[in-house]
Copies of this chain bind each other. A is one copy, B any other.
């Protein structure tokens, strides 16, 4: 997120200097009446959407997706640009809502970080947002682990459903980086503690409850989806669901308040919903449908983002979230930086400070392919160049000209990190022009990449060929059989959620740029029947991170003024 290593003020310093408005004022600006407003302190609120009269009947605003090139260690600034564009749209007079994911607490104690934008394009209060916030992830942890406890309790009291203890698929979760819980043996210690079995913990953001939470339209839909989640199998491989365990209603009770979107503000006092945060690999990586839909009813423009680069993030946003929630994106902004494009062009990280037009041109292949991909969904695109001080005018000129000439899109240099909305007004105007054009692109409008009725294997092949530009997909016979079994069980109409490296179009993270004719090996499939997608795993996926040798927790502390040090 940080833009300039020589920056005079850190993100947290800028955030602390800002004079936040009371959240009542932000809610009023967003048109949220007092009945619907539930404050959490003075700068955060939950919004009870059922208490906004006539909300569902209002027309929808325009939905703008902020996505990016494949990430590199050089940084792109996708969240920062999402916030900056939101502020820019507000500055040119559009009623705007920003929709972001909630950050996970656990990783904050591993590596210094945080996820609330950067520079003068941040959402605040960043400490609370990055720690407990309004407790949504704690509620998800509780709901998930209640189901876990009820599964083992069912087995303990006679196991009338006949769950095979070797085939319990429902792990436990904690919002903590804790490698020692990845694989455990549970129910040890004798008769009164149950039947020993293999088990393990994932981090909360990897929970299917999180994905369900983010795709549910309302509490009734949430409860129905939770009930469909598969928790394990009998000895003859019959699936057992959360509904069979009679857990889904109580889980819904635990998630009742969490499902209300959280309202915060940008440094410029514009409203932002920060709500839900599923993994972008084994899940779809977007904020909640409830927040996005509410934003569309409340604002003329909703600016949102999706995890990772456009090959994973935008594809899932379109094919899973928009398809399932009936959303129509009006335009996509693809974020790139000169630095990151040079890395895609082969420049090592320590030489990014030097102008290198050759490498930039080479690296543009990555950007170009994302532009092309996004347009395959019928969504018009524009490039946002997140400005870094080491960028040269020649590099910017090359980038803009190349985008226009070769990709047919505008590229706009944005300086929101240093200047806030002043740095994105131009981008905002171009986005509005794109979104309000009567017949953008081919005039056919938004459509997912593949139809619901396409066979699962073919869906995966379509993504691999059309988006990753692979020549083929391969899998062991066992995995290919699973595709057929899942179809036979009635899940053939689900979309695919690919889990692969975010660093490359291919499954090899070191393969930057725009690789072609690679082959995508499928290692494993997992059915997320409640979330409503089939996870296709192409590579190593870590669902419980560990802490580094010197975790940032060792230096996180309250200073003498009671402010948090070491978190950012």
- Residues of chain A touching chain B, judged by Cβ–Cβ distance below 8 Å, are 38-42, 46, 50, 105, 109, 128, 131-132, 135, 138-139, 141-142, 145-146, 148-150, 152-153, 156-157, 172, 174-189, 192-194, 199-200, 219, 223, 246-247, 249-250, 252-254, 256-257, 546-547, 549, 551, 553-558, 562, 564, 566-567
Q: What would be 29 A-B contacts, judged by CB atoms less than 8 Å apart?
A: A39-B40, A41-B46, A109-B149, A131-B253, A132-B142, A132-B254, A138-B141, A138-B142, A142-B176, A145-B176, A146-B176, A149-B547, A150-B547, A150-B554, A153-B179, A153-B547, A172-B181, A174-B174, A180-B186, A184-B199, A219-B558, A223-B558, A250-B553, A252-B557, A252-B558, A253-B556, A253-B558, A253-B567, A256-B564
> Given A42-B38, A157-B549, A549-B157, do A253 and B193 touch, yes or no (CB 8 Å)?
no
Stoichiometry, copies per complex? 2
Decide if A138 touches B132 in the complex (CB within 8 Å).
yes
Q: Are A256 and B184 in contact (CB under 8 A)?
A: no
**Nearest neighbor of A251 in chain B, beta-carbon distance:** B553
Among candidates B38, B200, B250, residue contacting A109 with C-beta atoms closer than 8 Å: B250
With a cutoff of 8 Å between Cβ atoms, the chain B residues found around residue A249 in the complex are 555-558
Chain B's closest residue to A549 (CB) is B157
Known contacts A40-B41, A150-B551; can you find 13 more A-B pairs with CB under 8 A? A40-B40, A131-B254, A132-B254, A138-B142, A146-B176, A149-B180, A157-B549, A180-B194, A184-B199, A185-B188, A250-B553, A250-B554, A250-B566
Q: How far is the CA of A146 from the CA of B50 in the complex (A)?
A: 37
Residue pair A178, B145 in contact (C-beta under 8 Å): yes
A553 and B247 within 8 A (CB): yes
In the assembled complex, which residues on chain B have CB atoms less than 8 Å from the CB atom of A551?
Answer: 150, 153
Contact A185 B184 (CB under 8 A): yes
Interchain CA distance A188-B40 in the complex, whole Å: 40
Contact A179 B156 (CB under 8 A): yes
With beta carbons under 8 angstroms apart, the residue of B131, B184, B194, B200 that contacts A179 is B194
**A184-B185, A186-B184 are known contacts. Are A152 and B178 too (CB-CB below 8 A)?**
yes
A189: chain B residues at CB < 8 Å are 182-183, 200
Question: Which residues of chain B are near A148, meaning CB under 8 Å?
Answer: 178
Chain B residues, CB < 8 A from A40: 39-41
Partner of A156, one of B145, B180, B254: B180
What residues of B have a CB within 8 angstroms of the CB of A558 in the complex? Answer: 219, 223, 249, 252-253, 256
Contact A562 B50 (CB under 8 A): yes
Q: Which of A41, A223, A566 has the most CB of B within 10 A?
A: A41
CB-defined contacts of A250 to chain B, threshold 8 Å: 109, 553-554, 556-557, 566
Contact of A39 among B39, B131, B132, B219 (CB under 8 A): B39
Given contacts A185-B184, A553-B247, contact A564 B253 (CB under 8 A): yes
A39 CA to B44 CA, complexed, in Å: 10
Query: Could you tell me the distance in whole angstroms from the C-beta of A271 to the nearest C-beta in chain B?
Result: 18
A150–B547 CA distance with the chains assembled, in angstroms = 8
Is the Cβ of A188 less than 8 Å from the Cβ of B183? Answer: yes
